[in-house]
Amino acid sequence: MRVPLSWLREYVELPADVTGRSLGEQLVRAGLEVETVEESELTGPLVVGKVLTYENEPQKNGKTIRWCSLDIGKDEPQWVVCGAHNFEVGDLVVVVLPGAVLPGGFAISARKTYGHVSNGMICSSTELGLGDDGTDGIVVLEPGEGTPGDDAIKLLSLTDDVLDIAVTPDRGYCLSIRGVAREAATAYGLPLKDPAALTLTGSGDGGYPVRVDDATACTAFVTRTVTGIDAKALSPRWLQKRLLAAGMRPISIGVDVTNYVMLELGQPIHGYDKSRLSGDIVVRRATSGEKLVTLDDQTRELDAEDLLITDDSGPIGIAGVMGGASTEISGSTTDVVIEAAHFDPIVIARSSRRHKLSSEASRRFEREVDPQLPRYAAQRVADLLAELAGGTILADETVADTHPLPQPVVIRGDHPARVSGAPIAVDDAMEFLKAVGCKVEPAADDAVASPLAVGVKASSLDYESSNSCDVLTGSRLWAVTPPSWRPDLRDPNDFAEEVIRLFGFDNVPSVLPSAPGGQGLTVSQRRRRRVATALVGAGLTEVVSYPFTGDADFDAMGLPADDDRRATVKLANPISDEEPSMQTTLLSTLLRTAERNVGRGQTDLAVFQTSLVFKPKAETKAAPLLAVEARPSDSDVQSLYDALPDQPLHVGVVLTGALTPTGWWGKGRPAGWSDAVQIARLIASVVGVEPTVKNVELAPWHPGRCAEFSVDGKVVGHAGELHPKVCQAFGLPSRSSAVELDLDALIVAGPETVTAVPFSSYPVAKEDVALILAADVAAADVQAALTEGAGELLESIRLFDLYTGEQIGEGKKSLAFALRFRAADRTLKDTEVAEARQAAVQVAVERFGAVQRVG
């Protein structure tokens, strides 16, 4: 809402030294979001000039300029060059003289142009900072609007500050000068001259016939009729100027007046050309298949929920959103039917959204308009049309008003103090409520406090120690009736807010509450932090990526058509149609992040990310929209949770290029499958889990170089080298590798507490075992077999050599393990160690046909 300061001053006698900026600060304190304050940069001299002569002079560039002499109230005429042609000799224009500065910081000086010295210029509406008035030329004043030499700044109120206020949804009344003026009046403690305080001249019946079929959606519908207007009359400059300053373009007197009254009072108005109406106006819901051409010349398919204004010809407007083209006021209109109505905010909001049509009217109706305004607004429009367009107001008036009157809310006098924790005296609180426009009375003896007054049974309150708020008077009940323009004031806390903002948020004390004592981070939260710290210690850098993905990513990853990671949760309105899905695998987006880094020259990359992934459930259910008047039942709450997809936290890693560079120490080493697997092991061991690892084939990994990690038989993720095609598709260096683990699953598998085991101080016995095996036997399985066979004397086992070659034959490999034996209670005898070693080898022999390698 754009609010010119000069307009506001009409309703509040603000002190002369109040500027847009200082007013803005006051309004911010009162809870309005003042986004910008436009201060006029205009300085004179700027005067009224009368065109004495002009000469049309065609120029080489195809333009024709006018060389004009102007009477600016001095002895000699002022000579200027002008590019516009919308004026004649004798017209009054606005002339800026050398030394002046126009809005935007344009300094004016006498300058040579088109072969003349132009001593200033004739101004257009835009140049004066008034916005585009649609004339495509300079401003021509009305005859008699001024005399040559008059100060045009004063005449046109050009140095006006304009506040731009972002009106929050609860403050619909501030979408009007009246509403903002009310706030300004309260802020400065001044009386408000209410522009809606008009004398109603209507009779209350006999106006244009109206029938309201849906009295829930339309609780008031008022019409007035003005006949014999001169529709071609231009709106007066002051009115045009205010519309422009408020951000609307003047169109014609009929339209301008309705817009003006809407800005002034906040009541959207629709004007109909009476001659184009046929039969009664009927307010009803649409029937399916109905269509309407709206004022913007769009044909709208109407929905059965749309509330319509109709006549015998069918729909003539979508109520509260936009009127129809067929009945609009035009240049030939003489008789106008004025509609000022009150519509249900939700009905209007839905229609506005359904038709993607947000109008000045719908914005106001959605936020609810003062339901007592329609008669006054209609009167105001009629008065202005009579005054400015020569119309005659018919006394006959239609008033269909079923809107209920505001009901009192019963609150404790100390409720604002209880909500704020500030010592707000009851008397002060009630005065603040009166300032807002509420009617405040002591509640009847048998009155009961309205519900939703929080904390009335709370045990302790700080403010009670303050002298200025007496507990006894505080508990007295008051009946507070909100003003008609504040339908948002419903609950005790709504009134508390009004009191507190007028009391001043700055005056509320600052008290740090004492929590009863927490348990610190959860196990899961702690483990997540440790995983991240360990990965950073291992040289990895944490990155982020958006969770949006699509088939292109899955194709690049080489996921088969039936891969369950292609079954995704999809968005109805994704940022990009190419990426409609929520990621089911962290790699689909992390690989893109890696790609971007590699593309920017970071080819030796070690990155990780933790993020949720989104796994649709086998059966998709809708999450119900439950009632809000009480807590839903546990089963209803559960149905909400059950409807959501599984969203486990994953950790993903991508390694590309060199792990260690070539340097003075020797040759560098590329990051490979084993580094990826090792990082996965690192993550598992950080959370205290010993995973089972085995070879599997799974995209996007190399079919021979992918490790599957599982815990207690449950697969928790994979690590290894990426498939060459995947590297290519994501533009990564060949042999890049990746990890993806379900971090939640790993964390859950971690120990609750670690129990210490005593360790032996007896000497260790070391034995090496080398086994020749078939090449496809997994080292982990062999190690497991040796461990099993060695029994409890085995302290540790480590694979220290892998050999393939001629000595052991094709299709074979040799694995060498270092075994350490130790007993808790004695020094082991050589025979014991030899037996344990032999038992270990025996299991490997039986299980894999291993042959001990000797020498």
Partner 1 sequence: MSGPNTQYDPVEVTPLHAEALERTRDEALSAFTEAADLAALQAAKVTHLGEKSPIALANREIGALPPSARKEAGQRIGTARKAINDAFAERLVVLEAEHEERMLATERVDVTLPWHTPELGARHPLSLISEQVADVFTALGWDVAEGPEIEAEWLNFDALNFQPDHPARQMQDTFFVEPAGSGKVLRTHTSPVQARSMLTRKPPIYVICPGRVFRTDELDATHTPVFYQVEGLVVDEGITLAHLKGTLDHFVVSMFGEGLEARLRPNFFPFTEPSAEVDLKCFVCRGASVGNPDRPCRTCGSEGWIEWGGCGVVNPRVLRACGIDTDRYSGFAFGMGLERTLMFRNGVEDMRDMVEGDVRFSRQFGMEI
Token pair recorded at residue 390? 């020569």
Angstrom CA distances, 99 to 105, 113, 525, 684, stand at: 12, 17, 68, 77
Residue 190 vs 612, nearer CB to partner 1? 612
Length in residues, the chain: 855
How would you classify the pairing of strands 92-96 and 669-670?
unpaired
Least CB distance to partner 1 at residue 460 (A): 5
Tell me whether residue 197 or residue 627 sits nearer to partner 1 (CB atom): 627
Question: Alpha-carbon distance 777 to 541, whole Å?
Answer: 35
From candidates 236, 574, 670, 672, binder to partner 1 by CB under 8 A: 574
CA distance 779 to 332: 95
> Tokens in use for 835?
């037996």
Binding partner 1 by CB under 8 A: which of 332, 541, 685, 827?
A: 541
519 sits near partner 1 (criterion: CB under 8 A)? yes
Taking a C-beta distance cutoff of 8 angstroms, is the pair 554, 588 a contact? yes
Rg (Cα) of the chain, in Å, rounded? 41
Considering only 58, 520, 811, 855, the residue that binds partner 1 (CB under 8 A) is 520
DSSP classification of residue 120: S
Which among 609, 546, 599, 548 is positioned nearest to 732, based on CA atoms? Answer: 599
Is 617 a residue that touches partner 1 (CB under 8 A)? Answer: no
Taking the least distance from each CB to partner 1, the nearer of 4 and 179 is 179
Q: In this chain, which stretch among 80-88, 248-256, 390-398, 522-530 interacts with partner 1, using CB under 8 A? A: 522-530
- 538, 542, 548, 550: CA torsion to nearest 10: -30
Tell me: does residue 517 bind partner 1 (CB under 8 A): yes
Among positions 118, 159, 609, 736, the unique one binding partner 1 when judged by CB under 8 A: 609
Among 572, 618, 756, 854, binds partner 1 (CB under 8 A): 572
Total residues interacting with partner 1, rule: CB under 8 A: 121
Residue 379 binds partner 1, judged by CB under 8 A: no
Q: What is the DSSP string of 505-537?
A: GGGS---PPPP-----S-HHHHHHHHHHHHHHH
CA–CA distance, 737 with 654 (Å, rounded to integer) = 6
Using the CB atoms, write b or e for 365-377: b if 16+ within 10 Å.
bbbbbbbbbbbbb
Task: For partner 1, give the closer residue by CB, 602 or 842.
Answer: 602
Is residue 680 a contact point for partner 1 (CB under 8 A)? no
Window 420-439: contact mask with partner 1 (x via CB under 8 A)? xxx-----------------
Our finding on whether 494 is near partner 1 (CB under 8 A) is yes
Q: What gap in Å lies between CA 558 and CA 729, rounded to an integer? A: 9
Q: Establish whether 497 is an annotated binding residue.
A: yes
Q: Structure tokens of 241? A: 């100027």
Q: Determine, following the binding rule CB under 8 A, whether residue 465 of this chain makes contact with partner 1.
A: no
The answer to whether 356 contacts partner 1 (rule: CB under 8 A) is no
544 touching partner 1, by CB under 8 A: yes
CA 535 distance to own-chain centroid: 34
Task: Decide: 591 and 656 in contact? Cβ < 8 Å.
Answer: no
The CB-of-222 to partner 1 minimum distance in angstroms stands at 25
> Using the rule CB under 8 A, is 582 a contact of partner 1?
yes
- The answer to the question of residue 471 lying near partner 1 (CB under 8 A) is no
The dihedrals phi and psi of 631, each to the nearest 5 degrees, come to -65, 135
Q: What pairs with residue 304 in β-bridges?
A: none
Verify binding: residue 171, partner 1, rule CB under 8 A.
yes
Q: Binding to partner 1 (CB under 8 A): which residues in 102-161? A: none
**Shortest distance, position 745 Cβ to partner 1, whole Å:** 16
Residue 521 found at the interface with partner 1 (CB under 8 A): yes
How far is residue 236 from each of residues 92, 156, 433, 461, measured CA to CA in Å? 15, 12, 39, 59
User: Min. distance of Cβ 518 from partner 1 in angstroms?
Assistant: 4
| Tokens found for residue 409 | 């809310």
CB neighbour class for 321 (10 Å; exposed up to 12, middle 13-18, buried from 19): buried
Q: Out of 5, 253, 341, 569, name the contact with partner 1 by CB under 8 A.
A: 569
Q: 155 or 508, CB closer to partner 1?
A: 508
Determine whether the annotation assigns residue 498 to a binding site: yes
Of 251, 207, 252, 205, residue with least CA distance to 232: 252
Q: Where in 389-418 is the site for partner 1 (CB under 8 A)?
A: 418
CA angle 704, 709, 711 (to 5 degrees): 155
Among positions 299, 459, 465, 467, the unique one binding partner 1 when judged by CB under 8 A: 459
Give Cα 410 distance to the centre of its chain: 35
Query: Three-class SS of residue 51?
Result: strand
Q: Where are the alpha helices (DSSP H) in 687-806?
A: 724-729, 743-749, 779-790
> Could you say which of 57, 491, 788, 832 contacts partner 1 (CB under 8 A)?
491
**Binding to partner 1, residues 723-752 (CB under 8 A):** none
Binders of partner 1 among residues 33 to 92 (CB under 8 A) are 33
Rounded to a whole number of angstroms, the minimum distance from the CB of residue 665 to partner 1 is 5
Q: Which residue number, 112 or 457, has a Cβ lying nearer to partner 1?
A: 457
Cβ proximity of 315 and 288 under 8 Å: no
**In angstroms, rounded to a whole number, what is the distance separating the alpha carbons of residues 1 and 248?**
11
396 annotated as belonging to a binding site for a ligand: no
Q: Is 677 in the site for partner 1 (CB under 8 A)?
A: no
Instruction: Look up residue 471 and give its amino acid.
Output: V
**Contact status: 837 vs partner 1 (CB under 8 A):** no
236 binding partner 1? (CB under 8 A): no
Choices 470-478, 517-525, 807-815, 827-835; region in contact with partner 1 by CB under 8 A: 517-525
**What number of CA atoms fall less than 13 Å from residue 46's CA on the CB side?**
25
Piece of the chain touching partner 1 by CB under 8 A; list 154-162, 190-198, 533-541, 801-809: 533-541
The smaller minimum CB distance to partner 1, of residues 304 and 775, is found at: 304
- Residue 145 buriedness (CB in 10 A; 0-12 / 13-18 / 19+): middle
Sheet holding 477-481, edge to edge: 409-412, 477-481, 439-442
Nearer to partner 1, 490 or 820 (CB): 490
606 binds partner 1 (CB under 8 A): yes
Rank residues 418 and 822 by Cβ distance to partner 1 and give the closer one: 418
Nearest approach, Cβ of 302 to partner 1 (angstroms)?
A: 18
Q: Which of 532, 557, 719, 726 binds partner 1 (CB under 8 A)?
A: 532
Residue 488 assigned to a binding site: yes
Q: Is 353 in the site for partner 1 (CB under 8 A)?
A: yes
Interaction residues for partner 1, span 619-658 (CB under 8 A): 620, 622-626, 628-631, 637, 640-641, 643-645, 647
Burial of 69 (0-12, 13-18, 19+ CB in 10 A): middle
Minimum gap (Å) between residue 494 Cβ and partner 1: 6
Residue 620 CA, chain-centre distance (Å), reads: 28
Determine if 538 is a binding residue for partner 1 (CB under 8 A). yes
CB of 54 to partner 1, least distance (A): 45
State CA 804 to chain mean position distance: 63
The answer to whether the beta carbons of residues 705 and 723 sit under 8 Å apart is no
Which 439-458 residues touch partner 1, going by CB under 8 A?
451-458
Among 116, 285, 403, 501, binds partner 1 (CB under 8 A): 501
Minimum Å gap between C-beta 622 and partner 1 is: 5
Residues in binding site: 488, 494, 497-498
The annotated binding site for Mg(2+) is made up of 488, 494, 497-498
